Amino acid sequence: MLAVQGLAKRFQLPRQKGAAPATRDPRGHDGWFHAVRDVSFSCAPGEVLGLLGPNGAGKTTTLRLLSTALKADAGKALVNGVDLLQQPLLARQQIGFLSGSTGLYGRLTARENVEYFGRLHGMDSAHLKRRCDYLFELLQMQDYGSKRADQLSTGMKQKCAIARTVVHEPQIVILDEPTTGLDVMSSKILLDFIASYKALRIPLVFSTHHLHEVEKLCDRVCIINHGKTAFNGTVDELRHLGGSADLYDAFIGVINRED
């Protein structure tokens, strides 16, 4: 179970001259930019939660806080009783996090990259081999497992990054826009992979701008706008609040209500 309550993070603003107040983001004041002001949501075992919001709303910052890459200024984030914010070292053992900039070591093969991160998590050789075999088959990576990462296509690299994200069998999976830039076939494989986590009873959170992915996969939705939770509920509740059966129209309806 993942439970996020009142998450907040601010960054100090650089001094600027001549900035017109009308063009400033409302979250910037008193010398600080409040990227995340009050974000709350939950994701139960076997649920997939879609994190939505306009560009710059605070989605990526929220996910980086949950991954412990950033330290929150306020709030709580609990995974099976472990506070991610207060016990980051213990939390990292339970989290699989894919950021928009998750990189690979170009001179290592696809398989070597995944194995390397498995070893960092203390996996023994036999278990690591079985786990890699399983992931490479699930993500259809067998044909290029021995190919260097710097020679892989965008879709191949993303699948490899997904495999290294979950090789240690995390108790929660967090993916930041995992299908961005992928072709239809690669996107389908990754979406099927996300769907498979429902059967594993592992909470999975992913951010996306593609609402057809939300409609296909998600049990719950959290919409962030201007650093705050604008909506937190089921897909059907989103349709009701947004006043439309079409998710795109419902999403815009919720954002317009907030604005």
Residue ranges per structural domain of the chain: 1-14+23-94+170-259, 102-169
Amino acid identity, residue 218? C
Cα 103 from chain centre: 15
Over 80: is that where the pLDDT of 211 sits? yes
pLDDT of residue 19: 53
Give 1-14+23-94+170-259's CATH code, choosing from 1.25.40.10, 1.10.287.130, 3.40.50.460, 3.40.50.300: 3.40.50.300
Provide the residue type at 161 as one letter. A
Q: Which tens digit of pLDDT belongs to each residue from 132-163?
A: 999 999 999 999 999 999 999 988 999 999 99
**Torsion (CA) 142, 189, 174, 163 in degrees, nearest 10:** 0
**What's the pTM value of the predicted model, to 2 decimals?**
0.90
Going by C-alpha positions, the residue among 67, 71, 63 that lies closest to residue 41 is 63
Q: What pLDDT does 182 receive?
A: 87
Compute the distance between CA of residue 63 and CA of residue 197 in angstroms, rounded to an integer: 18
- Distance from chain centroid for Cα 220: 14
